[in-house]
Amino acid sequence: NTILITGANGFVASWVIDTLLKRGYTVRAAVRTEVKGQYILEQFKSYSETGKIQVVAVGDIAKETAFDDAVKDVDGIIHTASPVHLGSGEPSEIIEPAVNGTLGILKSALKFGVSVKRIIVTSSCAAVKERQETRTNIDETSWNESSIVECEEKGKNAHPLDMYSASKTIAEKRAWEFVAEHASEIKWDFVVITPPWIFGPPLQEVTSVETLNSSNMYWYKAVFEGNFFGANPETDPAHGWIDVRDAAEAHARALEEPTAGGERIIVCAGSPWVWQDFCDIAQGVDPKIHSIGNTFNTAKEHSILGLEYRTMKEMTDDTLAYITKKGW
């Protein structure tokens, strides 16, 4: 059973790979360039030596045919690759690769993925909720329309979070449309996982604080540098969070659980939170209970995936242990 995972050198994908290998799958790890795959082969050496993991270079995912070869002879696909940063000039700089990458893998799978049975796309709660909304009990029927409008109206002056959110929303919407349009030809089923902020100990190659993946970088800056990028750490609620290892487990279960087919599933360990919560936990203080901000409904996740989430404290302790080991 061979699974193609895209964005394989990324934060989330590295843990998905670890989870899949431990479950006995063979993994085809798609990265931008050969060089980016070297660390993966080294890290999962015992598996690479026995052919349980191989690396394929696919180039820029914005190119429509990027995955044409990678999808051949695999049984399942987990598509995590998408730009994750809050520093675009024009919205199109982030929207285009996100959308083309997601549509591209579906197109390639339709043409060349004859043995594919299921495709999982990592979307985001950024595609589910609007940036500033404070609704509670938000479920999978909700879409973040306002970030798209913000980008259309303000262009390069749109809020960076709206640019990222629009990239995730448009990519996911187009994917569902593609699946619906081609329903009669498609032999696989389709699942979307929408996590909120993902934190936790990195498994991917990180050579310095500056090369941390974006979400962990924000966490690090908040906890160690008191930099909350303009947010009030005590009062500005952020939407949910999840430990990266639980997010990875969610992807594996989404691959295996028959009833996940055709579903959009929110996975979320806790919501809402404020940055101060992580600062408190890191300092051994119990965080305050907050009743502000939006919350997500995870009933669908419970009934289909049945995750047991790590706590904020477990996540924080393990991330601090990683940081200590790095000597930062």
| Nearest-approach distance from CB 186 to ligand NDP, in angstroms | 22
Task: Closer to ligand NDP by CB, 39 or 224: give it.
Answer: 39
Distance of closest approach, residue 308 Cβ to ligand NDP, in angstroms: 20
- In the bound state with ligand NDP, the residue whose beta carbon lies nearer, of 48 and 258, is 48
- Alpha-carbon dihedral of residues 214, 220, 226, 231, nearest 10 degrees? 30
- Nearest residue to ligand NDP, scored by beta-carbon proximity: 10
Residues found near ligand NDP in the complex (CB under 6 A): 7, 9-13, 32, 36, 60-62, 80-84, 97, 122, 124, 168, 195, 197-198, 213, 215
Tell me whether residue 9 or residue 298 sits nearer to ligand NDP (CB atom).
9
d(CA 324, CA 210): 16
Residues 125/268, Cβ–Cβ less than 8 Å? yes
CB of 145 to ligand NDP, least distance (A): 18
- Least distance (Å) from ligand NDP to the CB of residue 13? 6
Q: Residue 229 or residue 285: which is nearer to ligand NDP going by CB?
A: 229
By beta-carbon proximity to ligand NDP, the closer residue of 187 and 328 is: 328
Distance of closest approach, residue 40 Cβ to ligand NDP, in angstroms: 10
Task: Specify the residue, 5 or 21, whose C-beta has the smaller distance to ligand NDP.
Answer: 5
Write down the least CB distance from residue 138 to ligand NDP, Å: 15
